[in-house]
């Protein structure tokens, strides 16, 4: 059961008593647990055959093929990789639901991580004709789970590219605020409607714009971002205006380097 209570007051503010509400949430919790278990077992089942498909594709890539076959193989490879990325995301989401995220935290130079993530995002950004800019200190060392923070950056930067029209731009900024470090990604993209701002972080949520414009996605990226940031004891906030752009701001505790 969940319980909540509030005071009941008369027209001139006098106390009349208290209202107590009991709500049965066991069923709801059970339904969420069943969903997590289902997502987890389906993802595990999908992973094995997918790994085999990707392995065989890699072997085929080493062989000579007629030009037409080569192009088709690339399409298969690209889609199999997308599926593999989806399965990885689903496994992470299920892990968060089942027993929380386990972090492997160590001292990391966040400036270097941001540089590498932006470099990796450049080919897609160039293809989409979206300019990427970075504002970084030379070095910013703090204790985080590097792989997870890379996921945060990859999701935010790829969204900035994906949801920006041609000719748009995205700026990735990293700042040392003393007690915290702030990582923000600002884009000049399609923006997010006020009603959707809270909902974009929920699992499987996709905005109307994304669906109307057939922009590919799964609705898992920002949910993963918020889980990873929460596991680090940080916060993520969003400012957005439709037709103008969005800023996602991640704040993480600035932990001194291990061994200092």
- Give residues in contact with ligand ADP (CB under 6 A): 155, 159-160, 163, 187, 189-192, 200, 205-207, 209-210, 217-223, 246
Minimum distance, C-beta of residue 66 to ligand ADP, in the bound complex (Å): 36
CB neighbourhood size of 13 (10 A): 6
Kindly tell me which of 153 and 222 has the beta carbon lying closer to ligand ADP: 222
Minimum distance, C-beta of residue 103 to ligand ADP, in the bound complex (Å): 21
Kindly tell me which of 117 and 143 has the beta carbon lying closer to ligand ADP: 117
Minimum distance, C-beta of residue 217 to ligand ADP, in the bound complex (Å): 2
Minimum distance, C-beta of residue 172 to ligand ADP, in the bound complex (Å): 12
Kindly tell me which of 145 and 187 has the beta carbon lying closer to ligand ADP: 187
Please count the CA atoms within 13 angstroms of the CA of 29 that sit on its side-chain side.
Answer: 7
Contacts 24+ apart (CB under 8 A), 91-96: 91/40, 91/43, 91/44, 91/47, 92/151, 92/224, 92/227, 93/39, 93/203, 93/220, 93/223, 93/224, 93/227, 94/36, 94/37, 94/39, 94/40, 94/43, 95/40, 96/227
Kindly tell me which of 108 and 152 has the beta carbon lying closer to ligand ADP: 152
Minimum distance, C-beta of residue 105 to ligand ADP, in the bound complex (Å): 24
Kindly tell me which of 145 and 196 has the beta carbon lying closer to ligand ADP: 196
What is the rounded CA–CA span in Å between residue 39 and residue 180? Answer: 34
């Amino acid at each position: 059961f969940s319980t909540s209570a509030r005071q009941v007051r008369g027209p001139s503010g006098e106390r009349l008593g208290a209202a107590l509400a009991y709500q049965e949430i066991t069923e709801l919790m059970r339904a969420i647990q069943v969903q997590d278990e289902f997502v987890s077992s389906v993802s595990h089942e999908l992973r094995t055959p997918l790994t085999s498909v990707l392995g065989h594709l890699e072997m085929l890539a080493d062989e000579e093929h007629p030009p037409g076959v080569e192009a088709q193989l690339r399409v298969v490879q690209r889609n199999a990789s997308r599926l593999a990325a989806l399965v990885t995301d689903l496994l992470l989401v299920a892990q968060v639901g089942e027993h929380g995220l386990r972090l492997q935290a160590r001292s990391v130079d966040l400036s270097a991580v941001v540089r590498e993530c932006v470099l990796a995002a450049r080919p897609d950004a160039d293809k989409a004709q979206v300019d990427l800019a970075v504002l970084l200190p030379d070095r910013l060392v703090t204790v985080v789970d590097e792989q997870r923070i890379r996921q945060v950056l990859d999701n935010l930067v790829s969204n900035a590219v994906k949801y920006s029209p041609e000719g748009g731009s995205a700026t990735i900024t990293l700042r040392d605020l003393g007690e915290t470090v702030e990582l923000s990604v600002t884009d000049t993209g399609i923006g997010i409607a006020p009603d959707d701002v809270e909902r974009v972080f929920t699992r499987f949520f996709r905005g109307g714009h994304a669906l109307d414009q057939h922009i590919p996605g799964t609705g898992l990226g920002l949910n993963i971002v918020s889980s990873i940031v929460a596991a680090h004891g940080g916060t993520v906030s969003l400012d957005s205006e439709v037709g103008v752009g969005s800023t996602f701001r991640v704040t993480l505790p600035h932990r001194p380097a291990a061994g200092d």
